[in-house]
Amino acid sequence: MDLYGEVRAAYREFATYAAGASPTLEQWALEVAEDDEVIAWLGGLPPVKRQPNLVFAAARLHGVPAPGPYDGLRGALLGGGGAAIRETILTRATQTNEAGRLATLLPVFASAGEGRPLALIELGASAGLCLLPDRWAYRWRTPDGDRTLGAADEPELVCDVTGPAPLPADRPEIAWRRGLDLDPIDVRDDDRVRWLETLVWPEQHERLARLRAGVALARRDPPPLLRGDLRTDLDALIDQAHREAAGAAVVVCHSAVIMYLDAADRRAFEAAMRERVSAGRCHWVSMEASGVVPGLVAEAPASHLVLALDGEVVGFADQHGRALRWL
């Protein structure tokens, strides 16, 4: 989704992402796209703040019922509650922390690590739930039967897999982990966790349960999170990983993060990552919507992200981790 593009088009595109996953948000997005007054209201926001996920979550945080009719959202935005919702939009960000993506990322981590422990750096880490690939159980449903990792009493991530994905026989050993985010979320902060819960789409009860399970896992031993900018602070973190986790495979990963950069910064980020990979400083695992990383030209199916290792597309992953199609 182009967060800097035309607003009506962005909401129509979001509706396609929400189709089959959240009837409420699909309908809201379609109606916003046809509502001149609401489009004008959104026009008063900075471009990156007009995104559907953020607007809808802010409205829900202020009491707009979801599931619920579009009239509830419209009345809140254009009525007396609009100022409070606007303030929330301006001060919050869509830091959706979807731990389910780990089921699609683990095969890529295994390929990057080649049997070595990992020094894992996540960009746009939010609360750091995707920094915990070693704390979940996994069930990959393949045409040849289920493949599982982990114990029966551990929270499980389930993913439908097609294609020759290199499903690992063991969970990765994480020798060192760090998250980098403009505004990292402390999983022990109930208000910030409530915001994460509000970002989960209505009707997605399983996804909400997964978020809560991930928060519970993280609270036992919170992953280290650093406040910083991926455009300027990543090299120092890679250097630190090499110093403090000698012998580990340094892996920089991100999912649905680069979309928040403008076009020039996306190009600069991609060039910098390819240079780091070429120099042997790290592996690069990216999971972004089609066209977001300029050099990764691949058309993902609806509601899927392009999955790549070291700048080469390896598959398509459902945005919430429910399916992986390996190429």
The enclosing domain of 224 has a CATH number of 3.40.50
Shared domain for 72 and 118, answered yes or no, is: no
Q: Are residues 169 and 263 in the same domain?
A: yes
* Number of domains the chain is built from: 2
Q: Which CA distances in Å does 224 have to 77, 126, 177, 187, 243?
A: 37, 11, 7, 11, 16
Kindly indicate the confidence band of residue 300, based on its pLDDT and cuts at 50, 70 and 90.
Answer: confident
Strand partners of residue 118 = 174, 249
Residue 69 has pLDDT above 70, yes or no: yes
Quick one: pLDDT at residue 25?
A: 97
Q: Is 217 contained in some domain?
A: yes
**CB neighbour class for 6 (10 Å; exposed up to 12, middle 13-18, buried from 19):** exposed
Confidence tier at 137 by pLDDT (50, 70, 90): very high
Residue 100 has a pLDDT of 96
Are 196 and 256 within one domain?
A: yes
H or E element in which residue 28 lies? helix 23-33
Same-domain check for residues 82 and 139: no
pLDDT at 4 over 80: no
**Among positive and negative, which fits the CA dihedral 224, 173, 306, 206?**
negative
Q: How many angstroms separate the CA atoms of 14 and 312, rounded? A: 26
In a domain, 259, yes or no: yes
pLDDT tens-digit map of 202-250: 999 999 999 999 999 999 999 999 999 999 999 999 999 999 999 999 9
pLDDT at 111 over 70: yes
Task: Decide if pLDDT at 1 tops 80.
Answer: no
Residues 57 and 170 in one domain: no
Looking at 33, 66, 91, which one is the last position of a domain? Answer: 91
pLDDT at 3: 56
Average pLDDT over the chain, rounded to whole?
Answer: 95
In a domain, 1, yes or no: no
Q: Is residue 2 included in any domain, yes or no?
A: no
What are the pLDDT digits (tens) for 260-299? 899 999 999 999 999 999 999 999 999 999 999 999 888 8
Looking at 91, 112, 133, which one is the last position of a domain? 91
Q: Say if residue 128 is in the same domain as residue 240.
A: yes
In the structure, what pLDDT confidence band is assigned to residue 2 with cuts at 50, 70 and 90?
low
Kindly state the average pLDDT of the residues 137-145: 97
Q: What is the mean pLDDT of residues 6-25?
A: 91
Pair (162, 230) in one structural domain: yes
pLDDT at 165 > cutoff 70:
yes
What residues make up the domain containing 47?
7-91
Report, as an integer, the average pLDDT of 64-93.
95
pLDDT at res. 210: 96
Question: What pLDDT, on the 0 to 100 scale, is given for residue 307?
Answer: 97
In this structure, the answer to whether residues 17 and 154 fall within a common structural domain is no
The pLDDT of residue 96 is 81
Instruction: Record the tokens describing residue 6, joined without a space.
Output: 């035309």
Identify whether residues 110 and 70 lie together within a single domain: no
159 and 31 in one domain? no
Q: Is residue 237 one of the residues assigned to a domain?
A: yes
- pLDDT in the model for residue 21: 86
Is residue 276 in some structural domain?
A: yes
Residue 260 falls inside a structural domain: yes
Put simply, whether the predicted model's pTM sits higher than 0.85 gets the answer yes
